[in-house]
Structures are given as structure tokens and as C-alpha cells.
Amino acid sequence: MFSKDIGIDLGTANVLIHVKGKGVVLDEPSVVAISPKTKQVLAVGAEAHRMIGRAPGTVETVRPLKDGVIADFDMTEKMLTMFIDRLGVKGFMTKPRILICCPVKVTAVEQKAIQDASLKAGARRVYIEEEPKVAAIGAGMDIYQPSGNMIIDIGGGTTDIAVLSMGGIVTSESVKVAGNTFDRDILQFVKKHERLLIGEMTAELIKKEVGTAFPGTAEKTIDVRGRDLATGLPKGITVTSAQAAEAIRESVRAIVLGARNVLEQTPPELSADIIDRGIMLTGGGALLDGLDKLLTEELKVPVYLAENPLGCVVAGTGIMLDHRRANFQKK
Ligand SMILES: Nc1ncnc2c1ncn2[C@@H]1O[C@H](COP(=O)(O)OP(=O)(O)OP(=O)(O)O)[C@@H](O)[C@H]1O
């Protein structure tokens, strides 16, 4: 019976879905809007995302994943079901096979939760792959040769750092610091230093517009609004790149340290390959200004930003579905 294979990047911030033969058909934020009373789902994805911080008491917005793993099983399953239903890949008596990614170093229980949520959402079979491996393939790295390839995948909730050779992970580390941590840092900084309460979305906007991991080059500013903590009234302030850089400095440091640890545990032959090839940066968090420059300086190895950092994992699932079908069947 004919059924479609689909690849899913189930992320803390975004869900992307690749349908075999069609390419990327869905790219939506991992957000669910529910009625707090009845727990009924009111909206998912982009529609629910628009409600964050702006919904009345009758609507609650939930992010069902935290730090790359499932924090709310029911909501993850409902969100996945609604996304998969939209694709029209579930035929009469047929269900898709799903290739889905998880961060490295997740527990068996966390992996099982991802598998169960996919099965309940309508999968016939579920194959789980480690995110940095899939991201590396999506970024165009040839990880199947006996040589070292290093990747730093900075998502919303986790940063996965791995050295790959011959199709497997040789050394890796998962740090629970990534794009969303930078947002929280900025929110706290503005609260403490400007006595202004801003929303999650405003903090993310500051990060994207003026945030930098390598301060001192181009000083940018952004005007934002929030609630004055002293008066309780709306107030506007200007945030500079220097302030945003200070806010996220410790979190950026944690990523640098994670990468250093992985390099320190890497066998010398593979280290030599990494010096030659450089390190690939993927994931939306890698779009933070100056991060490639800072990592290059700190690690003494060239660090390159992938062509489409946000799309590497889902592109990798597509390549694996196209070329590695035989591999899945062996499992
Ligand atoms: N231009 C940008 N500058 C800085 N950060 C950005 C930019 N664009 C997106 N991001 C950040 O990228 C993050 C989301 O990245 P991505 O979609 O790769 O994560 P995810 O796969 O959902 O998360 P995880 O892998 O941790 O589960 C968010 O924190 C978002 O704010």
C-alpha cells in the first residue's frame, strides 16, 4: 500500500516537515494555543505564535518542547497530529513512516516520548536520528568518510556539538543554552538595568536586530516598549548592541566552553581534519551576529555559518529519506 515517508525537525522553537518527493512543506513555530479551562486546542503553529503575550485569560499559549525534548506530551502529540493532518499524507488505511530528530545525550525515556508522540500522531513506523548528524548531512558535510567533521547546532533550547566520522558520532556534548536562552538573558537584563518589563517576542527582536556575540564592530540600536516596573505604565527605551552583548555574554561563553570540551576529547587524527575543514555552524541560534567570528577566535579553528542554518536539520532528513531508505529497513 502506498504511503509517504516524512522527515520532521521537532524543535523547541520550530517544527519543519519534509515530505519525500515534495521537499519542505511545513515550517511553523512549536506553539499551541489552548483554552485553559477545557484544554481544547484553539490554534497551533504561526497562528498560536501570534497570540504569545497578547492573549486574553481565556487563551493560554504553550510551548510543548523545552530544551529540545518533550515537556508536555499531550500538547506535543496534538501539535504533531494537527501538522501531519494538514499535509494530507495519511491515506485510507495508510500511515506515513517518520524520520524524526532528537538532541544528542537524550535519555531513553525522552527518546521513547518522541517515538510515542509520533506514533500517536499517526506514524506507521518511527526512526529516530541524532540531530547533529542530520544537521551535518543537511549542511552538505560528507560524514561517511573516515575523517573528522565538527558541527555546532544551536537551536532554540539546546546546542548540540559533535565530531562525526564514518557516519557516527565520535565525541559530543549537548548544552542547554541556545537561542531562547539569549532571549531570556535580554529580558532579565532590561528588567534589571532599565527597570522595564518586556515580552518574550520583544526580547527575541532585540537579539535579532542588535544582539551580537562579538561586540565592538558596528554599534546598532533598537527602540522597544514595555511596562515600567516603577510606575506600571507603558514606556519606551533604546537598547544598544553593547547592552545586548553584555546580556548574553555568559550564555555565549557556555557554548564556547562546550565546543572546547568536545575538541579536547577528540582523537588527534580527527582534530587535524577539523583544523583543515573548519567547523560548521547550524541552527537558528547560529544566526546571532558575530558568533562565527567569536568561535573562530576562541577555538583557533575556522568556523563557518551554514548556507541556511534554520533549514539544515529538515534538509538532512530529506537527504536521508531519499538516499538511506535501505538503512532504515535494516533497523
Ligand atoms: N536572525 C537571527 N538572529 C539570531 N537568532 C535567530 C535568528 N533567527 C532565528 N534565530 C533564533 O533561532 C532559534 C530557533 O532555531 P531553530 O529553529 O534551529 O531551533 P529548534 O530546532 O526549534 O530548537 P532545538 O534544536 O533546540 O529544539 C530561536 O531562538 C530564534 O530566536
Residue 325 reports pLDDT greater than 70: no
Average pLDDT over residues 216-235: 94
- Contact partners, residue 39, CB within 8 Å, separation at least 6: 74
> Where exactly are the structural domains of the chain?
5-133+312-330, 148-177+249-306, 179-247
State yes or no: 255 annotated in a binding site. Answer: no
Q: Are 33 and 60 in contact (CB under 8 A)?
A: yes
In this prediction, residue 324 has a pLDDT band, given cuts at 50, 70 and 90, of low
- The residue type at 52: I
Between CA 308 and CA 246 the distance in angstroms is 27
Q: In the chain, how many H helices and how many E strands?
A: 11, 18
Average pLDDT over residues 315-325: 84
The answer, yes or no, to whether any atom of ligand 1 lies below 6 A from the CB of 274, is no
State yes or no: 287 annotated in a binding site. Answer: yes
Residue 168 neighbours by CB distance under 10 Å: 11
Q: How far is the CA of 310 from the centre of ligand 1 (A)?
A: 7
State yes or no: 12 annotated in a binding site. Answer: yes
Strand partners, 48: none
Q: How far is the CA of 290 from the centre of ligand 1 (A)?
A: 15
Q: Say how many CA atoms lie within 13 Å of 205 toward its Cβ.
A: 13
The answer, yes or no, to whether any atom of ligand 1 lies below 6 A from the CB of 310, is yes
Residue from 74, 37, 28 nearest 56 by CA: 37
Domain spanning 179-247: CATH superfamily: ATPase, substrate binding domain, subdomain 4 (3.90.640.10)
Would the CATH topology of 5-133+312-330 be identical to that of 179-247? no
Residue 256 reports pLDDT greater than 90: yes
The fold of the 5-133+312-330 domain, in CATH, is Nucleotidyltransferase; domain 5 (3.30.420)
**DSSP 8-state code for residue 289:** B
User: Percent of the chain at pLDDT above 90?
Assistant: 84
Residue 233 reports pLDDT greater than 80: yes
β-pairing, 41-44 vs 125-130, is: unpaired
Q: What's the start-to-end Cα distance of the chain, in Å?
A: 21
Over residues 185-202, the pLDDT tens digits come to 999 999 999 999 999 999
Q: How far is the CA of 93 from the centre of ligand 1 (A)?
A: 36
Average pLDDT over residues 281-300: 97
State the greatest distance between any 2 C-alpha atoms of the chain, in Å, as a whole number: 65
In this prediction, residue 54 has a pLDDT band, given cuts at 50, 70 and 90, of confident
State yes or no: 206 annotated in a binding site. Answer: yes
Over residues 108-120, the pLDDT tens digits come to 999 999 999 999 9
Over residues 137-184, the pLDDT tens digits come to 999 999 999 999 999 999 999 999 999 999 999 999 999 999 999 999
Q: How far is the CA of 14 from the centre of ligand 1 (A)?
A: 8
Q: Are 45 and 83 in contact (CB under 8 A)?
A: yes
CATH architecture of the region 148-177+249-306: 2-Layer Sandwich (3.30)
Residue 196 phi, psi (nearest 5): -125, 130
Tell me the pTM: 0.93
Average pLDDT over residues 251-280: 97
The answer, yes or no, to whether any atom of ligand 1 lies below 6 A from the CB of 158, is yes
Determine the 3-state secondary structure of 157 from DSSP.
Answer: coil
